[in-house]
Structure 1
């Protein structure tokens, strides 16, 4: 009884006072607000300086256009629907490739945990495939899957499957070996250890790979649109560049940035849903 009371007192003593927690939360809120404010100031300052340079003649509008021209073109393209449709096509290709590549790579990476021998055999081939630039595979993928959306999804999948595989496998290898031995001594099967320990412990590695793969899958989709497509932001940028339409090129680039930010935010929401308990612990 005395030991239980002591344990409760020690546990209570380790908890920071409510006033301290409130001060910490208030300081974090102030810092987050300051970070956002500085980011907005930098962005506004950049576009203001760019616009001033274009209007004063310090910057060539033929080479760099201007924010006002890009904005006017964006409104026109949104009104006629071409920009929205292009972003939709590229977004669907990216999202589909991201989901397929992440799930496939994660399943293969975690599956290699079952057999260390198989993992050592496959390591050379995984590294060899990961060293191939996606651009080099583009013509083959177009021949195999055609010029439709399937080839873009395939390139987006190839762009992120290796990263997901390596991260998932590394996360599985980081599982506490003493814990697995303890569970084995209690009669736990390998499948039980895999489902109850390996998968939860590797979740942070899988999410980290997903954050990287958002950009990789977008690159794969755009490369596919560069090689052969009639729609999408990659096709828009390619045609605009061929016609020396700098404003349209920049509009496509900014649209890709916004699309990447939206997809990253989606991954962040998934992370909070899956790893909320870890984030709360931090």
Structure 2
């Protein structure tokens, strides 16, 4: 897979808004929090006088802490497609926790948060009020400073070695498109199926089978976005499907349209972006 396709493999189904109207910035955490935080993210938009814009993603197996509009929420692993319509103007601050790292802040299985968005105070305590009172400013720096101050209050004294091992396994699944079954993971890692399933339930928040399927669909989306693959039986086989019908079914269930229809949508969007750029 080329770097072009790899960079697109983030689960964003229809990338981007017009420059100047939409900002999506990622910032690394401070070094002392790097074992638990993958990155901070900040989204801002100004669509006043313009039509609302929908953004859709296939989320990764991560927990997020999100602050927006006077609320602080914890988002568990979202197994369905996540769609958000942006209108008017606004901004959101978020923290993306590293895969398997969230039990450092909460002892219960991460799977209990799956497909849920809960008041962060239920998990992190009333100190979360520091994130919303007074309201955060609309800059990435303001959000990062206040979020990190809160999380430092909750840090464990040491890094969980089992969490690091599971994160390493998930990274390998994401990086290797030839991994299509849990049996392959067990064989490559020496992990037993039962222990892997149990620990993914507790630390990751989704099953190993789900993680594999999600990353292979990320791969499909990236390959179609980059033009490196056609929406045909060869792509299905490349991603570990025994037949094209099952691939089309899974793709449509999560993306909302068949691979062929999605490729056509991408083509039309590219044409529209090119037309808009040429008219400036």
Q: TM (normalized to structure 2)?
A: 0.22
- The structure that is helix-richer by fraction is 1
Q: Which has the higher contact order (CA 8 A, sep 6+)?
A: 1
Answer 1 or 2: which has greater strand percent.
2
TM value normalised by structure 1: 0.22
